[in-house]
Chains A and B, each alone.
Chain A
Amino acid sequence: MLRIFCLTLSILLASFSAQADEFSQLVNQLPSKSLRNITPLLEQIAAHPDERTKTVLTEILNGDLYYKKNNKQVVSIRKTPDGDYQLTDVLTGDDLGTASKSSMKKVKTSNRIRSTIRGLIAQLDLTHKNAEVRLAAVKQILDSPDDETIELLTQLVTKEQDSTVADLMQTAIGVNTLKNGNAEEKLAVAKALRDSLQPAVRNAMVNQLALLDEVEKSQLSATEKQLKTELTSAIDKIKQKRSIYEFIENMFFGLSLGSVLLLAAIGLAITFGVMGVINMAHGEMIMLGAYTTYVIQLMFPQWIDYSLFIAIPAAFLVSGFVGVLIERGVIRFLKGRPLETLLATFGISLILQQLVRTIFSPLNRTVAAPEWMSGSWQINPIFSITYNRLYIIIFALTVFFALLAFMKRSSLGLHVRAVAQNREMARALSVRSDRVDAITFGLGSGIAGIAGVVLSQLTNVGPNLGQSYIIDSFLVVVFGGVGNLWGTLVAAMSLGSINKFLEPLTGSVLANIIVLVGLVLFIQKRPKGLFPQKGRSAD
């Protein structure tokens, strides 16, 4: 068995090295070629299926490919600060140490050869078997086009299988035509590309229009006039589309900020809204959740991608447990004295902050983001959605609806609502209000812990993490109407959106101030928030 395995392995290795040798041979011929007859060799290299072709060609193009004068070994070089060359074997990637300038000779190129190489590299990428590499190559051409590559594109576009790549190729060719074609061709392109969102298309159109504007109106030909109107309308249309996408993008940012606010505030909505308890330590529950994420990540460094799934329940438990402790230890003795509760919980928040400072140091910690949360979803050239924000929106809504279901559907939720509405009556009907209080408080704190997990993905984790969210969360709850979960949802999302829409106009600090002042004014008008609880109690 072992023998067969070894045999297979050696055969594989042999065939691999045979192919590799062929490529090395080609590369090693480079020093012996003169400027006049190097082109066929380069084409041969480019045509070779070996993966290193691109590296070799790029090195030549950048003028970094040298060979040793004594043994003609081909290497790529980097200049060291003291004028010597740092050598790397271009074929194996091995470090070959340094060599003096005089012992090396460059693989010569001329302008013509360089442009050939550029074409060859572009062709390499454009004919790559992976469609994404092809797409990236076309994108690069779109940003910095030159005549040869466009020519190449015109040849390749008919053979292109992938429709996205083909479309982009057409766009690139079109942009080039806009620059260099005659009036009729330009007109055709302007009509064809009026739906394109590529920034390059817009730039080319704006440039063309500027050129046409410079010419006297009377001197324009009929086609040029037509072109002018066509370009104007196309640019207008593109602008319109852009502003729509800009709006959607702002909306998306606003919703993602709103989701963070929702997560931070929803726990408060329960403790404050249902129990009537002001918990100034709520921010610290968020912070504890964030630190739990950090600790979980330290414990399982090998599972960064999945540790969030452990962190979410862990944070819920840690913060929930601390919440229950606070309720049992302090808050239940302060029933009916909301201002005192506010002070006592503020004291607790100071203690918790200092505790974290003592244990983890006052410095900020970073929690690594898992692979699947980074990156973005490119919907079109000017609009993309980052995955982490998308997931946060989804997650926040999931938590919200889970909580809503718990409150409306479970018997414990029923008890919680009963105690919230009329404690005495609920007690008379044998609801254990003490237990319900502890559970409610634990639940609210636990959800704050989950918010901490989310926040750890967005910002650094530090002792003051919670403090920056506490005022915002209170305002969300008060704005939405105390004791109303739907109100909290609407308030969080609208505050988030308003903030994000103001930000580009005023800057983030001023936007923050405007929202705060606006809220203060709003509360004057509607002291019970957007969706007030109905009742007839008076004290």
Chain B
Amino acid sequence: MADLFKKLGSLPVVVGCLFITTLYVSVCNLAFPEGSALHVSTYTVTLFGKYLCYALLALAVDLVWGYCGILSLGHGAFFALGGYAMGMYLMRQIGDRGVYGNPELPDFMVFLNWDALPWYWAGSDSFIWMMVMVVAAPGLLAYIFGTMAFRSRVSGVYLSIMTQAVTYALMLAFFRNEMGFGGNNGLTDFKDILGFSLQSDTTRIALFATTATFLAIGFAVCHFIVNSKMGRVVTAIRDSENRVRFIGYKPENYKVWIFVVSAMLAGIAGALYVPQVGIINPGEFSPLSSIEMVVWVAIGGRGSLYGAIIGAIVVSYAKTRFTAIMPEAWLYALGGLFVLVTLLLPKGIAGFFPAIAARFNQKKLAEVKS
């Protein structure tokens, strides 16, 4: 029994926290009327839903960066691809309620005088198919990019810059109207999902609960991956790729594999994000937003799964508060966080408490010894 708990580590705590939060939020939002002290507004629910999406995304980044040493500055691309897949489905759900009232084509296509859906929009009205795309599209991109990059042993900062170049190129491409993804404006004005109105409180709560569930599942998956035998090899690759290779493993296979899993997680995060915020546009591909993801992990603590979640939530919350109070100061704060965390807290928040504890223990040890 104790063995099992050790194996599960922080998993029950995280899942438990998520469950309690979800329960609290949904009960307080639905059961208590507006104006009651215990009421949680739908705005807050959506906001927290957004943070949980970010947390899932941070998990994905942490999995490759914290455990495999691949600093991806392009995870925003996977996130956005998942988001666009969901956005396409939601777009088709609008049906003839759009401004132009075309039952088949989304408004922006009517505006561009297109008379049929492009081939890659085929099947976009099927929820199942698009959910497959949510993981398949980022996964495929990660597989192609990963195989090519890791096979030719591109690593370290080169890889980071290349991932950044990929997301930058995708951003430029998605900004073009001819791409068929709404260009500058992206996809927006969604009405409902699976027949439920996106504006209603119950749908919002359901989305929130789904996000929390997926975060819990994602956490569990990551937890088992990093604690499995495979995960050990991955961690070894992070610490010294060449030695792992000399022992006889093929690091590139492990790297591709973990990169694809991470991209899929990011895609799921994107798909959960879009119905809650109601828009997806090429801005999500921008290198800056990808770097922001890395900051969450750096601040939360790379190489610690719950640290990534904490980091994402704390930084996003700080961003919301800062941009509301002094929008000017946010970039100073974000930039300062980058510098200070890398200089002073190389293991992030998650590494902070163990370090204090260790110091305390050492002191006690020293006292005992003397």
Seen from chain A, the residues whose Cβ lies within 8 Å of a Cβ on chain B are: 278, 330, 333-334, 337-344, 346-351, 353-355, 357-358, 471, 474-475, 478, 509-510, 512-513, 516-517, 519-521, 523-525, 527, 538-539
Contacts and interface: CB of A to CB of B under 8 A. Distances in A.
16 contacts: A278-B160, A339-B71, A339-B160, A343-B295, A344-B338, A344-B339, A347-B336, A347-B338, A354-B328, A474-B165, A517-B169, A520-B145, A520-B165, A524-B151, A525-B152, A538-B242
A478 B161 contact: yes
A347 B337 contact: yes
A338 B156 contact: yes
B331 A527 contact: no
The 10 closest A-B pairs by CB, nearest first: A347-B338, A350-B335, A351-B335, A354-B331, A516-B169, A347-B335, A524-B148, A344-B342, A347-B339, A340-B342
**Interface of B, helix, strand, loop or mixed by DSSP:** helix
Nearest to B170: A513
Interface in B283-333: 287, 291, 294-295, 298, 328, 331-332
B287 A471 contact: yes
A351 B331 contact: yes
Contacts of B162: 520, 523
Nearest to A362: B328
B166 A520 contact: yes
Contact of A475 (B71, B165, B240, B241): B165
B165 A342 contact: no
B54 interface: no
Contacts of B173: 509, 513
A516 B168 contact: yes
Contacts of A519: 165
Contact of B161 (A344, A357, A475): A475
B172 A278 contact: no
Given A474-B161, A524-B154, 10 more contacts: A330-B343, A347-B337, A348-B338, A349-B335, A475-B165, A478-B158, A516-B166, A523-B149, A525-B152, A539-B240
Given A333-B343, A538-B242, A539-B240, A342 B166 contact: no
**Most chain B beta-carbon contacts within 10 A, residue among A347, A349, A475, A525:** A347
A446 B342 CA distance: 25
Interface residues of B, number: 45
A82 B157 CA distance: 70
Contact of A350 (B160, B294, B338, B342): B338
A106 B70 CA distance: 83
B215 to A, nearest CB: 25
Contact of A471 (B145, B149, B158, B165): B165
B335 A510 contact: no
B164 A521 contact: no
A340 B346 contact: yes
Nearest to A527: B154
B153 interface: yes
B265 to A, nearest CB: 21
Contacts of B339: 330, 344, 347-348, 351
Nearest to B291: A346
B287 to A, nearest CB: 7
Nearest to A349: B335
A509 B152 contact: no
Contacts of A344: 338-339, 342-343
A342 B287 CA distance: 13
B175 interface: yes
